[in-house]
Amino acid sequence: MKNIIKIKVFLIVLSCFLASCGKQEIYSCDPEADLWVKSNLTEVRNMTRADWLAISDDNLRRATFIAFTPDQKRALWVGKMEEVLKLDWTVQEVQHIKYILEFIKVNPVIFANKSDFDDVAVDELDIVLYKWEEYAEEVLGWSGELLHNLVYTAQALNKNREIDSSFCVSARLKRGNEQTPITLTYCSCNAVRDCKGNNPKTQCRDPWDLQTSCTPSDAGCGLFNNKSCKLLCHTPN
């Protein structure tokens, strides 16, 4: 009887652990990534946009973003959009970019934990973002690749409106006596536009369909990276 009780207690504790890991509010279910963020949490929570851009590993950059406070996430994206406005645009394009810049400034819900808000507020937010993206595509003629570069990654753009890799050459922070970079297997998309490049064959697929798995997160994908990453980018042969 005692053994049965012990087993039940163990299963309850285990299920609670797995549930908390699955929620993935911040950090990562990957133990190495989770430990890295926790070991550097004070520094992470004081990072500026320049600090974030200096992280060379894409996966670790996403994990760091997930660990940011809502104010840090918003500052990161406000900085990105202010930089974008310095590029060459038409008057109509400038107005469209300024609109979304002001929108993210006054709507902290974009970067907050969605569980803190009711479904109606989140749905209304998604509608505004969807209409903004739809207008950019159908009226301004922006390509999927340009939209990806603008609002699906906080990385800097060069004068050609492409991801500027020169901002991503510095070594990232290291944990303890670590000698080699941490390898993470994050889920890479929530929608196809999360996927880099402009290949029309690229899909955002359920990892089970691809006979693989990935570590999900509550943020890091979607417009302004405010959606969960739970799927994988895949380009069939």
pLDDT value of residue 138: 97
pLDDT value of residue 131: 96
Q: How many CB atoms lie within 10 A of CB 52?
A: 20
Structure tokens at 106: 């006054």
Three-class HEC string of the chain: CHHHHHHHHHHHHHHHHHHHHHHCCCCCCCHHHHHHHHHCHHHHCCCCHHHHHCCCCHHHHHHHHHHCCHHHHHHHHHHHHHHHCCCCCCHHHHHHHHHHHHHHHHCHHHHCCHHHCCHHHHHHHHHHHHHHHHHHHHCCCCCHHHHHHHHCCCCCECCCCCECHHHHCCCCCCCCCCCCCCCCCECCECCHHHCCCCCCCCEEECCCCCCCCCECEEEEECHHHCEEECEEEECCC
Is residue 39 situated within a structural domain? Answer: no
pLDDT value of residue 66: 85
Is residue 35 situated within a structural domain? Answer: no
- Report yes or no: 219 and 66 within 8 Å, Cβ to Cβ: yes
Is residue 22 situated within a structural domain? Answer: no
Sign of the four-CA dihedral 168, 173, 175, 176? positive
Domain span at residue 152? 48-163+178-234
Q: Please tell me the distance from the alpha carbon of residue 113 to that of residue 128, in angstroms, as a whole number.
A: 18
What CA–CA distances, in Å, run from 81 to 8, 43, 105, 154? 52, 24, 11, 9
What is the domain count for the chain? 1
For the chain, list residues with pLDDT below 50.
2, 4-26, 166-184
Is residue 11 situated within a structural domain? Answer: no
Is residue 32 situated within a structural domain? Answer: no
pLDDT value of residue 186: 61
pLDDT value of residue 231: 86
Q: Which amino acid is at 115?
A: S
For residue 61, with 0-12 CB atoms within 10 Å meaning exposed, 13-18 middle and 19 or more buried, which class applies?
buried
pLDDT tens digits, 135-171: 999 999 999 899 999 999 999 999 999 986 533 333 3
pLDDT value of residue 173: 40
- Report yes or no: 218 and 25 within 8 Å, Cβ to Cβ: yes
Is residue 89 situated within a structural domain? Answer: yes
pLDDT value of residue 117: 64
What CA–CA distances, in Å, run from 72 to 31, 48, 113, 235? 24, 8, 13, 33
Is residue 203 situated within a structural domain? Answer: yes
Is residue 141 situated within a structural domain? Answer: yes
